[in-house]
Structure 1
Amino acid sequence: MPRFTPFRAVRYPTDTNFDAVVAPPYDVLSAEQVRYHHDRDPHNITRIDVPTGDDRYARAGALYRQWLDEGVLVADEAPTLTVYRLRFTDPTGAERTISGVLGGLEVVDEGAGGVLPHERTTPKASTDRLDLTRATGANLSPVWGLSLAAGLTDLLAEPGEPVAAVTDDADGFRVEHLLERITDPDRIAAITELIGTDDVLIADGHHRYGVARSYRDEVRTATGRTDTAAEDTLVFVNELVADQLSVAAIHRLYRGIAADTLRSAIGDRFDLAALDADHPDARPDPATLARMEAEGFLTLITAEGAWTMTPKPGAFDDVRALDGVWLEETLADLTAEVSYQHGVEEVLSAVGSGDAVAGVLIRPVGVAEIERTAREGLLMPPKSTFFTPKLKTGFVIRDLS
Structure 2
Amino acid sequence: MNRTTLKPYGRSVSIIGVGCTPFMEILGSPETEGLTEGELFGYAAIEAMKDAGVEPKDIDYYFHGQANPNFVSEYITPNMQVANWFGMKGKGSMHHSEACCTGYLALEIAAMAVASGKYDLVLSASADMGASLPVEGQPAHKRREFTLEEFNTSLKYIYDRAYTRGMQAGMYTVFDDLAALYARDHQLDAKTMDDVLCAMAINNRYNASKNPLAKLQITYEDIAKEKGMSDAMQYMQSPFNPKIGDYMRVSGLEERSEGAAAVIVCPTEMAYKYTDHPIEILGTGSSALEASNPHLERRATREAYRQIYTLTGVKPSEIDLFFANDFVITSHLDAAEIAGYLPKKDGYKYVLEGRTRFDGDKPINTNGGRTSFGHAHAASGLADVYEAVKQMRGECGERQVKKLPKTTMLRGFGGGQNLSATILRTL
TM-score (norm 2): 0.24
TM-score (norm 1): 0.25
